[in-house]
C-alpha cells in the first residue's frame, strides 16, 4: 500500500507553535539578547560577546549566592524527605482520620507563597511574634532580622512547614498502593518493622520519592517569594539565594546584561541537575 | 499434627464474615476451601495463620490452643493471589528470606534454597530480580519461599488466579506433587471447582461465610450433602428443577419427560440437580432420556461445547465434549444421563439410597 503524503497536518501545529513562541521562546530570547549586549537607554545596544557570562562565572557574589542556594536546598531536602516519609508512615490508613490528616496536610500547600512569608515574618518577630517572643522569653537570643544563623533557621523552618506536606502526600500515596499481602507476607516471615520498611515500603515508594525529591529540588532551588517576604535576603546578603540575588541585580541595580547572563546560567544549572538526577534515578530503576 | 477450628466466628462491625465454624484438618492433607469471591476463604485462612483473630471460638494446633498466638510464632507460610516477593531482593535472597531471619547457617540455607529452586524450576534465575521474571516464575518464587521454611501449615490463597491459562494448568498439575512428602497441612483456597477436583485431598465448600460441607473431595463432589454444597461445587452452574415421583417413574413438574430413578426414593416432590456435563448432545450411559431444547447461547470452551437452552420454564446449561455447533433459536434434542441425577428433598438435603 502506498502511503499518501499529506503535509497539511502541520498547519494544526501552528496555534501551539505561536503560543509557545509567545510564552516561552520570545521572552527567553529577549534574555539571551540582553546577555550578549550592553544595554543603554532608548533601546541602544552594544555587542559584548561572552563578557557578562565570564564576569558572572568569576564573580564572588555569584559563587556565594550559588553556595547559599545549594546549602539551602540540601538542608531542606535532608529534613523534608525523611520527615515526610516518617509522617506518611504514621498517618492512619483508614477511618475518619484519613480525610482529617489529608486536609491538614494539604493546608500549607494551599496558602499563597507571599502569605506564607508574611505569616512567618510576623510569627517570628522577636518582640511581638509568637515564635520569636517565646524563644526570647525562654532565654534564646533570637532575632532573625539581625542574626544570620537565626535568619537561616527561620527560613528553613518556614520551608519545612510549607513543603513537607508535599512529600507526605506523595509518600502516603506510594504507601497506600502497596497491597496488604506484602505486609502479611513480611509478618509471616517474621520481618522486623525496620526490615519491612527497608525491603518493602522503601523500594515500593521509589518512584514517588524520586518525584518528590525532584519537585522539592526544583522548587527550593528557585525559591524566591517566601524568603523575599521573610528576610528580604538579609541580614546583609546571608539569605540572598540565587533568585533573590538575581532580582537585586536586574531590578535593583539595573545591570541587565549580567543579570540576563546570570539567569541563563541559573537556568542551565537547574536543567543540568534535574537531568543528572533523573538519569541516576532511572538507571537505578532499570537495574532493579 | 492437626489444625482445628472450634466454633470460630468472625464479625466486623455488624457484618458476620465467618459464621461459627468447626473444621478439623489432619496432618499431610491438602484441603481445598472452595467458594466464590467474598465467601470468606481469605478470612478463614488469615484466622488459621494468626494474621487475624476470631471474634469468638478457638484455634487448636497439635492439641494446643493457639488462639491469639502471633503469626511469627506459628511456623506457617502463605502464598497469595498477587505475586508477593521482596522487590529489590534477587530470587535467591527472596527464597532465603524466611530462613535468614531464623539464623540458620549460610551453608544450610544455600543447600535448602537450591533444593527448593530445583523443585520449582527456578535454578536458572536465582540471580534475577522478581520483576525480571514472568508471572508464573514470580509465583513460583513465592511458592518456593513458602516451601523452603518447612512450615507446619502452608496456606495458598488463590495462588493461580492471576496466571494465564497455560501457566495455571502447568502449576496446578505440579502443586499436589510439591506437597506429597511434606509433613504439613496445606490449605488451598480457590473459586474454581475444577481446581478442587484436580488437587484432590479434602474440600470444604463455603458460601457466604458458612462452611457447608467438608470431606474427601470426590465424596463432596459426588455426594453433596445438600443443594447449596452441590451448587458451590459446580461450574458451569448446576441445573435445578422440581420433579415428582409416583410409582416407578419420575417426571419434571414443567414437562412430560419421564425416567426411572437410579436411587430408591419415596413418592413425592423433589428438587433435582443435574450437572451440565450430564446433559449432552449425544447419549451417555445406559439410562439416558431425551429432552427438547431451544438453543439460547452456544459457545465453545476449549474442546468442550456449552449450550444454554430452554425447555418451557427451564433455563439450562449443557456441556458436551467436542465442538458441537448449534444455531441460536434452533430446536435440538439433548440427552440427560439419569444415573448422575442428584435428588434433594424439600429441605434441600440429598436423598440417598434406601
> What is the structure's pLDDT at A286?
62
Contact in structure between B57 and B8 (CB atoms under 8 Å): yes
| Interchain proximity A190–B72, CB inside 8 Å | yes
B-chain CB neighbours of A187 within 8 Å are: 51, 71-72
Positive or negative CA dihedral for A14, A19, A20, A21?
A: positive
Pick B213 or B180 by higher pLDDT. Answer: B213
Chain B residues within 8 A of A203 when measuring between CB atoms: 86-88
Model pTM above 0.80: no
- CA of residue B188 relative to chain centroid, distance: 8
Please name the member of B72, B98, B129 whose beta carbon is closest to the beta carbon of A288.
B129
**What is the band of B353 on the pLDDT scale with cuts at 50, 70, 90?**
low
CATH of domain B2-232: 3.40.50.300
Q: What is the DSSP letter of B211?
A: E
Q: How far apart are CA A70 and CA A76, in angstroms?
A: 10
Nearest CA in chain B to A287: B129
Quote the minimal CA–CA distance from A185 to chain B in Å.
Answer: 7
Chain B positions touching A182 (Cβ under 8 A) are 84
Residues of A in contact with B129 (CB under 8 A): 288
- Residues in B closer than 8 angstroms to A188, CB to CB, are 49, 51, 71-72, 76-78, 98
User: Among A205, A217, A183, A214, which residue's Cα sits nearest to residue A86?
Assistant: A205
Q: Using the beta-carbon criterion (under 8 Å), do A288 and B102 form an inter-chain contact?
A: no
Q: Which of residues 122-181 of B touch A (CB under 8 A)?
A: 129, 131, 145
Task: Answer whether A179 sits within 8 Å of B98, measured CB to CB.
Answer: no
Closest-CA distance of chain A to residue B46, Å: 9
Contacting residues for B128 by C-beta, under 8 A, at least 6 apart: B90, B91
Please name the residue that has the C-alpha cell 541563563.
Answer: A264
Q: Is the alpha carbon torsion for A98, A101, A105, A111 positive or negative? A: positive
Where are the domain boundaries for CATH 3.40.50.300 in chain B? Answer: 2-232
Rounded CA gap, B339 and B286, in Å?
8
Predicted pLDDT at A246: 86
The ipTM assigned to this model is 0.74
Write the pLDDT tens digit of every residue in B121-154: 888 889 988 888 888 889 889 989 888 888 888 8
* Alpha helices (runs of H) in chain A, residue ranges in sequence order: 14-20, 26-35, 51-58, 60-90, 97-110, 113-124, 130-137, 148-176, 180-189, 193-196, 202-221, 225-230, 242-247, 256-287
Percent of chain B predicted with pLDDT > 70: 99
Residue predicted with more confidence, A160 or B254: A160
- B 65-124 residues with CB < 8 A to A: 71-72, 76-78, 80-82, 84, 86-89, 97-98, 101-102
Main-chain phi, psi angles of B16, to 5 degrees:
-95, 115
Pairwise CB contact (< 8 Å): B88 & A288: yes
Residue A203 near chain B (CB below 8 Å):
yes
Task: Cell numbers for B224, please give them.
Answer: 453433596
Which residues of chain A have a CB within 8 Å of the CB of B98?
188-190
Q: Which residues of A touch B49 (CB under 8 A)?
A: 184, 188
Please tell me the total count of domains within chain A.
Answer: 1
Q: What are the cell numbers at B284? A: 451417555
Residue B84 has pLDDT above 50, yes or no: yes
Nearest to A125 by CA among A202, A229, A28: A229
Distance in Å, alpha carbon of A190 to nearest chain B alpha carbon: 5
Q: Order of strands, edge to edge, in the sheet holding B249-252?
A: B258-259, B249-252, B239-246, B268-274, B342-344
Residue B146 Cα distances to A77, B87, B113, B175, B263, angstroms: 40, 17, 11, 12, 46
Neighbours of B77 (CB within 10 A): 25
Strand B304-311 versus strand B314-321 pairing type? antiparallel
Splitting chain A (288 residues) into consecutive groups of 10 residues, what average pLDDT does each group show? Answer: 78 90 84 83 79 84 90 95 95 90 92 91 89 89 87 93 94 91 86 88 89 90 89 85 86 83 90 86 65
Q: Is A218 exposed, middle or buried (0-12, 13-18, 19+ CB in 10 A)?
A: middle
Q: Do A244 and A238 meet the contact criterion of CB atoms below 8 Å apart?
A: no
- B185, B3 contact by CB (below 8 A): yes
CATH of the domain at A253: 1.10.3720.10
Beta carbons of B25 and B49 less than 8 angstroms apart:
no
Architecture of domain B239-344: Beta Barrel (2.40)
pLDDT at B16 exceeding the cut of 80: yes
Statement: residue B354 has pLDDT above 60 = no
DSSP state of B198: H
Reported confidence tier of residue B281, pLDDT bands at 50, 70, 90: confident
Q: How far apart are CA A6 and CA B198, in angstroms?
A: 60
Please give the residue range of the domain that contains residue A114.
60-287
Note whether residue A16 is domain-resident: no
Distance from CA of A207 to the nearest CA of B (A): 13
Specify the pLDDT at position B227: 86
For B78, which of A184, A191, A200 is closest by C-beta distance?
A184
Asked if A157 has any chain B CB less than 8 Å from its own CB, the reply is no
Q: What pLDDT sits at residue A81?
A: 95
Q: What is the mean pLDDT of chain B?
A: 86
Distance, in Å, from the CA atom of B15 to the CA atom of B11, rounded to the nearest integer, reads 6
- The Cα-based distances of A244 to A87, A213, A262, B272 in angstroms read 31, 23, 12, 86
Distance from C-alpha of B163 to C-alpha of A222, rounded to nearest angstrom: 48
Q: Is A177 on the interface with B (CB under 8 A)?
A: no
Say which DSSP state B53 is in: -
- Closest CA in chain A for residue B88: A288
Q: Which of A182, A191, A199 sits opposite B84 (nearest CB)?
A: A182
Could you tell me the sign of the dihedral formed by the alpha carbons of B62, B64, B67, B71, in that order? negative
pLDDT at A1: 60
Amino acid at each position: 500500500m502506498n502511503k499518501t503524503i499529506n503535509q497539511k497536518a502541520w498547519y494544526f501545529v501552528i496555534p501551539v507553535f505561536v503560543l509557545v513562541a509567545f510564552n516561552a521562546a520570545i521572552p527567553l530570547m529577549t534574555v539571551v539578547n540582553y546577555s550578549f549586549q550592553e544595554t543603554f537607554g532608548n533601546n541602544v545596544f552594544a555587542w559584548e560577546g561572552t563578557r557578562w557570562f565570564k564576569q558572572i562565572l568569576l564573580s564572588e557574589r555569584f559563587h556565594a549566592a550559588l553556595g547559599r542556594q545549594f546549602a539551602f536546598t540540601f538542608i531542606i531536602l535532608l529534613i523534608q524527605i525523611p520527615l515526610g516519609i516518617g509522617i506518611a508512615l504514621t498517618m492512619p490508613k483508614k477511618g475518619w482520620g484519613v480525610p482529617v490528616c489529608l486536609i491538614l496536610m494539604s493546608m500549607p500547600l494551599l496558602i499563597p507563597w507571599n502569605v506564607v512569608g508574611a505569616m512567618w515574618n510576623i510569627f517570628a518577630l522577636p518582640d511581638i511574634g509568637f515564635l520569636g517572643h517565646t524563644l526570647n522569653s525562654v532565654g534564646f537570643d533570637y532575632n532573625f532580622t539581625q542574626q544570620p544563623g537565626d535568619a537561616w533557621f527561620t527560613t528553613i523552618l518556614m520551608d519545612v512547614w510549607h513543603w513537607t506536606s508535599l512529600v507526605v502526600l506523595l509518600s502516603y500515596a506510594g504507601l497506600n498502593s502497596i497491597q496488604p499481602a506484602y505486609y502479611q507476607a513480611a509478618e509471616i516471615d517474621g520481618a522486623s518493622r525496620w526490615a519491612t520498611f527497608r525491603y518493602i515500603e522503601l523500594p515500593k515508594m521509589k518512584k514517588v520519592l524520586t518525584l518528590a525529591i525532584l519537585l522539592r529540588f526544583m522548587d527550593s532551588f528557585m525559591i524566591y517569594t517566601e524568603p523575599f517576604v521573610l528576610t528580604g535576603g538579609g541580614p546583609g546578603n546571608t539569605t540572598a539565594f540565587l533568585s533573590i540575588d538575581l532580582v537585586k541585580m536586574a531590578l535593583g541595580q539595573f545591570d541587565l546584561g549580567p543579570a540576563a547572563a546570570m539567569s541563563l546560567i541559573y537556568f542551565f544549572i537547574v536543567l543540568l541537575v534535574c537531568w543528572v538526577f533523573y538519569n541516576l534515578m532511572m538507571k537505578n530503576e532499570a537495574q532493579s | 499434627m492437626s489444625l482445628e477450628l472450634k466454633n470460630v466466628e468472625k464479625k466486623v462491625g455488624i457484618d458476620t464474615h465467618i459464621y461459627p465454624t468447626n473444621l478439623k484438618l489432619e496432618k499431610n492433607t491438602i484441603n481445598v476451601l472452595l467458594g466464590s469471591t467474598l465467601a470468606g476463604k481469605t478470612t478463614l485462612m488469615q484466622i488459621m495463620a494468626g494474621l487475624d483473630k476470631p471474634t469468638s471460638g478457638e484455634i487448636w494446633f497439635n492439641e494446643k490452643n493457639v488462639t491469639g498466638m502471633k503469626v511469627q510464632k506459628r511456623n506457617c507460610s502463605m502464598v497469595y493471589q498477587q505475586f508477593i516477593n521482596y522487590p529489590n531482593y534477587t530470587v535467591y535472597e527472596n527464597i532465603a528470606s524466611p530462613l535468614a531471619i531464623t539464623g540458620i547457617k549460610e551453608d544450610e540455607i544455600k543447600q535448602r534454597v537450591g533444593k527448593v529452586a530445583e523443585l520449582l524450576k527456578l535454578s536458572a534465575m536465582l540471580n534475577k530480580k522478581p520483576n525480571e521474571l514472568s508471572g508464573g516464575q514470580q509465583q513460583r518464587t513465592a511458592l518456593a519461599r513458602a516451601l523452603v521454611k518447612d512450615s507446619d501449615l502452608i496456606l495458598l490463597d488463590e495462588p493461580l488466579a492471576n496466571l494465564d491459562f497455560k501457566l495455571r494448568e502447568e502449576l496446578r498439575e505440579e502443586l499436589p506433587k510439591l506437597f506429597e512428602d511434606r509433613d504439613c497441612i496445606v490449605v488451598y483456597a480457590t473459586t474454581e471447582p475444577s481446581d478442587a477436583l484436580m488437587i484432590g485431598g479434602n474440600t470444604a465448600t463455603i458460601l457466604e461465610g458458612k462452611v457447608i460441607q467438608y470431606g474427601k473431595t470426590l465424596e463432596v463432589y459426588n455426594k453433596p450433602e445438600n443443594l447449596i454444597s452441590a451448587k458451590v461445587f459446580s461450574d458451569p452452574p448446576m441445573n435445578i428443577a422440581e420433579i415428582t415421583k409416583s410409582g416407578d417413574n419420575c417426571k419434571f413438574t414443567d414437562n412430560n419427560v419421564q425416567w426411572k430413578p437410579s436411587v430408591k426414593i419415596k413418592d413425592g416432590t423433589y428438587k433435582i440437580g443435574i450437572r451440565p456435563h450430564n446433559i449432552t448432545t449425544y447419549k451417555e450411559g445406559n439410562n439416558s432420556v431425551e429432552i427438547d431444547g431451544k438453543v439460547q447461547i452456544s459457545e465453545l470452551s476449549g474442546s468442550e461445547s456449552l449450550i444454554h437452552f430452554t425447555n418451557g420454564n427451564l433455563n439450562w446449561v449443557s456441556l458436551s465434549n467436542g465442538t458441537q455447533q448449534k444455531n441460536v433459536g434452533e430446536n435440538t434434542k439433548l440427552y440427560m444421563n439419569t444415573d448422575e441425577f442428584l435428588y434433594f428433598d424439600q429441605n434441600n438435603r440429598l436423598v440417598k439410597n434406601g
